[in-house]
Amino acid sequence: MKLVGILFARRPLVAALVVVLLVGTTYADWATGPELSLTIFYVAPVALAALLGLWQGVAVALLATAGWFAADALANATYAHPAIPYWNTLVQLLLYALIVFFVSAIQRARLMQQELSEFIVHDLRSPLTAVRAALSSCSGSCEVADSPAHAVLRAGTNSLDRISRMIDDLLDVARAEGGRLKVSPEPLQAAQLVATAVEQMRPWATDLGVTVETAVAPDLPPLIADASLSLRVLINLLSNAIKYTPSGASVTVSASSAEARHVTLAVTDHGPGVPRQWQKRVFGKFEQVEARKSGAAIGTGLGLSFCKLAVAAQGGRIWIESEPDVRTVVSFELPAG
């Protein structure tokens, strides 16, 4: 019972799956008899448990060995020497122990690499904040607001803001995947959310010659969502739209509600679009890299991945509709109160 308690100490649903696989394999091993060995099938629950932790893997390795020995004993197999079943049991235990060791080592290395990346990315914020403060100070000292120097400083500030958003996306994607993303829902007005996002992105759009328009339906119910996460989702989508919209064209940010329980926010651009085969895959963490390799005009950052995780964490959904070289609409739906 103590072994089972260790197993269920973390992620009880995964632990339950491990137990089901282990019991099922043991039963199948006993039912098929000694003529058909199912030793390899015990590897699945052992490896899965090792992903939960070293001690969880050890616990399942011992349970798997005991299950194999019990199935072998109940099958009444005959051996040339009475010590052979115990020798085979020891071999099974060593095999499962090696699997636990290697899987746990790989998992530990992956977690350490992730933590190191988070520390490095987090530490980038301090110098970026200092650079932004310096640029803001220089921009404030410019005597002529429309001077070339002021335009350069504004472009630099916009670029720093984009880098800061990318850093936030990197950190929050890791948090969301680890179940550590904090969500604080509160009543929000869609019109205010759209206005804030457009206000932040309009200077960059102006520099690129892109017009940003809004279309917010009247009398929308308030959103019940996290203000910071929702704003970042909208800014990410607006940033992508501006990036791929040709100079002289426009981007539209809209908010509507087909039913009182949800509000839909959408960003429409008239850029190159997303090929049909990638429209359901662009929100994947690594799919964007493959899409760019195939020639699709899709960013390689984690912005869209963050958007999907952030929207899902608030009980919403996100999707994309695109006609290449005509228009692309990225929409996300959030609960309303």
Flag whether the pTM goes above 0.85: no
Is 4's pLDDT higher than 60?
no
Domain ranges of the chain: 2-120, 186-335
Residue 189 CB contacts under 8 Å (≥ 6 apart), including other chains: 220, 222, 223
Q: Using 50, 70 and 90 to split pLDDT, how confident is the model at 186?
A: very high
Amino acid 176: pLDDT: 74
Mean pLDDT of 42-47: 86
Q: What is the DSSP string of 201-262?
A: HHHHHHHTT-EEEEEE-TTPPPEEE-HHHHHHHHHHHHHHHHHHSPTT-EEEEEEEEEETTE
Share of the chain above pLDDT 70, in %: 81
Amino acid 7: pLDDT: 53
Rounded to whole angstroms, how far apart are CA atoms 106 and 271? 42
Is 96's pLDDT higher than 80?
yes
* CATH number at 186-335: 3.30.565.10
Q: Using 50, 70 and 90 to split pLDDT, how confident is the model at 276?
A: confident
- pLDDT digit string, tens, across residues 221-262: 999 999 989 999 999 899 889 988 999 999 999 999 887 789
Q: CA angle, 309 as apex, 305 and 311 as ends, to 5°?
A: 115
Amino acid 296: pLDDT: 56
Tracing tokens 């904040």 back to the chain, one arrives at: 129
Amino acid 287: pLDDT: 61
Share of the chain above pLDDT 90, in %: 22
- pLDDT digit string, tens, across residues 123-175: 666 677 677 777 777 766 665 556 676 677 777 777 777 777 777 777 777 77
Helices (H), the chain: 2-7, 12-32, 43-52, 54-74, 84-123, 125-141, 148-177, 190-207, 227-244, 287-293, 303-313
Higher confidence at residue 47 or residue 7?
Answer: 47
Which of the 8 DSSP states describes residue 41?
G
Q: Which two tokens stand for residue 297?
A: 């005009």
Amino acid 214: pLDDT: 95
81, 86, 92, 98: CA torsion to nearest 10: -120
Tracing tokens 């929000």 back to the chain, one arrives at: 188
Amino acid 196: pLDDT: 94
